[in-house]
Structure 1
Amino acid sequence: MNMQARPPEGVWGAVLLPVDQRGEIEWSALQEQLSSLRESGVHGIYTNGTAGEFHSQTEREFDRLSQLVSEFCHSVALPFQIGVSHSNARVARERLARVASLRPDAVQITLPDWWAPSYDEAEVFFAAMAATAPGTPMILYNPPHAKRRLNLDEIARLKARLPMLIGAKLPGGDEVWYGELRRKLPDLAVFIPGHFMASGCLGGGRGSYSNVACLSPAGAVRWWHQLREDPAGALAFEARVVGFMNEHVLPLAVRHGLSNAALDKAMAAAGRWCPIGPGLLWPYRSAPGEAVIELGTAARRQLPELFSTSQ
């Protein structure tokens, strides 16, 4: 991506890791998933977010995944971002150095998280990452569960120093927060969690790295188009999406002791849009099969707009 290119926007789908019965990544199923994501109409895809289990991959798996996604996306002209995150800042820098030649549209970066850095340490970290791949745009991946959450003033300081910082994943906020976002970061492509996509983008966000796309990427894209054509209808649908998450998805975390990644993969398995089950890489727990079936039934009953008749 050229540094002067248009910042990313829209609905971006996470690349999830199909896990076979041996607990290994099933690469052929992942290839099918990429094709399904492209056919869904998502505006781009990204690897190694929370749902992409960057925290559980070996370096060999990381390299293979990055190469596979890069080759596919270049072959079909689908924008893509590679997450180079790692709890060890030095390993994250090595990952970035290896993937820069794959020419992603951007790289996503979390802050080191075993010991949460100060702002000054975060700035040193990002400056070194920028120097490692000076032609590669960067996305600050700073979701609600990050150990070090940067506030808007800190992100504005970081952006002022590092023009290659073109975007961020942030949790969103209230009307006051969005007013500050528009004022302090008018040139930053801020992505909002998928279930708040309508209100977040009307408030100043540019798109979502979407958990709703885990459930139905094509449905999430239709919702995005509805936001352009019928904002009031899109907001009304958001209320139903949030209600579904609160009623059916979040309780799984308590009932079965699941991580955020497990919830996203349970939604993907329930959505049945690609060959993937709910299993996570060792040692993390996944949603049981009966819970996935119940989740899919509830989604089709309460959010039928997300699903075509074939799903």
Structure 2
Amino acid sequence: MSTAKRYRSCILATCCVPWNECFEFEEEIFRRSVRHQIESGIRDLYIFGTAGEGYAVTESQFDEVTNVFLDETKGDGVQGMVGLISQSLPTVIERIERAMEMGATRFQISLPSWGVLNDAEMQTFFRETCGRFPKAEFLHYNLMRTGRIITGTEYGRLAGKFPNLVATKNSTADEARLKSLFADAPQLQHFITEAGFAKAALMSECGFLISFTSTNFARAREYFHAGRDRDAAKIEAIAADFGGLIDAFKEAVGSSAHMDGAYDKLFCRIHDPEFPLRLLPPYEGVSEEWFGHYLGLLRKHQPSWLP
């Protein structure tokens, strides 16, 4: 018998935050972007991951954006998740408290990265997040920027201790690592990015963490459902485009950007020509010129991935 998952299998997508020339929150553009994803069938959304600049926002920006996001994701069947990235565990705790007062129930956490956590410190981190807030649900974002990748075995132990740890995000296509996630922490829903999802979906139930395929939500949903159906031929056919899609945004951006949000805001601009490309300083986004180059490459080589 398969183990019941603690979170549904779905497409999980980021909501980037638009900033004006004074680096103030562009609320109406943000609301429009969130609504567009929901109307396009993407109903599990989160703010303040790495693409959503969760590492860079002030406390007032965190509160302002969170309040608007929760307002836009309160509809039936929509699940909103608030990301928490900070070097300070007390700051993470305070943000959870304030967001829960606004109505948040789901959170995305990642380990502090100023120093790589040892085993005891990692246990403290999860105790003071999952353990401290038993009425909330938590997804752990497993990324190398923290200096430590949590293994499937470690996830299994954490899941046994914290029943409200419900899911993970893993950007990997390594088969051994994927197999361990499913075998050693089967109760968690593991969200995997494009290349890894092609392998993971044929191994076990999983979620799809969408990134560069968000330029066309209909085709991304088709890819996800091919995975749900374990249709290997269809997965392979759609995934055959991925190399060209990756080449397009890498060629467009080159060495001009190195933050996840710089890429993801390219994808947002594909859907809304008013979506700003800028990142909170000191980080730099992509220029208008390079966005135009990226759009031209898609039109020429990957037109089926435009909306």
Tell me the TM-score normalized by structure 1.
0.88
Partner SS state of residue 13, structure 1: strand
Could you give the per-residue CA deviations for residues 75-113 of structure 1, whole angstroms, max 9, x where no partner exists? 454111111221211101111111124444521001111
Could you give the per-residue CA deviations for residues 35-62 of structure 1, whole angstroms, max 9, x where no partner exists? 1111110131111111100111111111
- CA shift at 1:5, angstroms? 8.6
**Structure (1/2) with the larger helix percentage:** 1
**Residue 250 (structure 2) aligns with:** 250
Aligned-residue sequence identity (percent) comes to 22
- CA shift at 1:267, angstroms? 2.6
**Residue 297 (structure 1) aligns with:** 296
Question: Which aligned pairs between 1:71-220 and structure 2 lie closer than 5 A?
Answer: 71-104=71-104, 106-204=106-204, 206-220=206-220
Partner SS state of residue 82, structure 2: strand
With 199-208 and 284-293 compared, the bigger mean Cα shift is at: 199-208
Partner SS state of residue 56, structure 1: coil
Partner SS state of residue 45, structure 1: strand
In structure 2, runs of 5+ residues without a counterpart are none
Residue pair 2:19, 2:278 contacting (<8 A) in 1 also: yes
Distance 1:25 1:181 in 2: 37
Distance 1:152 1:130 in 2: 18
- CA shift at 1:254, angstroms? 4.4
Deviation >4 Å, runs of 4+: 251-254
With 93-102 and 58-67 compared, the bigger mean Cα shift is at: 93-102
Residues 172 and 255 from structure 1, CA distance in 2 versus in 1: closer, same or farther, beyond 3 angstroms? closer
- CA shift at 1:274, angstroms? 6.6
- CA shift at 1:167, angstroms? 0.5
Residue pair 1:11, 1:207 contacting (<8 A) in 2 also: yes
- CA shift at 1:25, angstroms? 1.7
**Residue 263 (structure 1) aligns with:** 263
Residue pair 2:112, 2:146 contacting (<8 A) in 1 also: no
Residues 174 and 223 from structure 1, CA distance in 2 versus in 1: closer, same or farther, beyond 3 angstroms? same
With 179-188 and 295-304 compared, the bigger mean Cα shift is at: 295-304
**Residue 35 (structure 1) aligns with:** 35
Residue pair 1:14, 1:52 contacting (<8 A) in 2 also: yes
Partner SS state of residue 202, structure 2: helix
Question: Structure 1 counterpart of 2:106, which letter?
Answer: A
User: CA RMSD of the aligned region, Å?
Assistant: 2.3
In structure 1, runs of 5+ residues without a counterpart are none
Distance 1:194 1:98 in 2: 33
Residue pair 1:168, 1:189 contacting (<8 A) in 2 also: yes
Distance 1:227 1:201 in 2: 5
- CA shift at 1:200, angstroms? 2.9
**Residue 242 (structure 2) aligns with:** 241
**Residue 286 (structure 1) aligns with:** 285
**Residue 10 (structure 1) aligns with:** 10
Partner SS state of residue 199, structure 1: helix
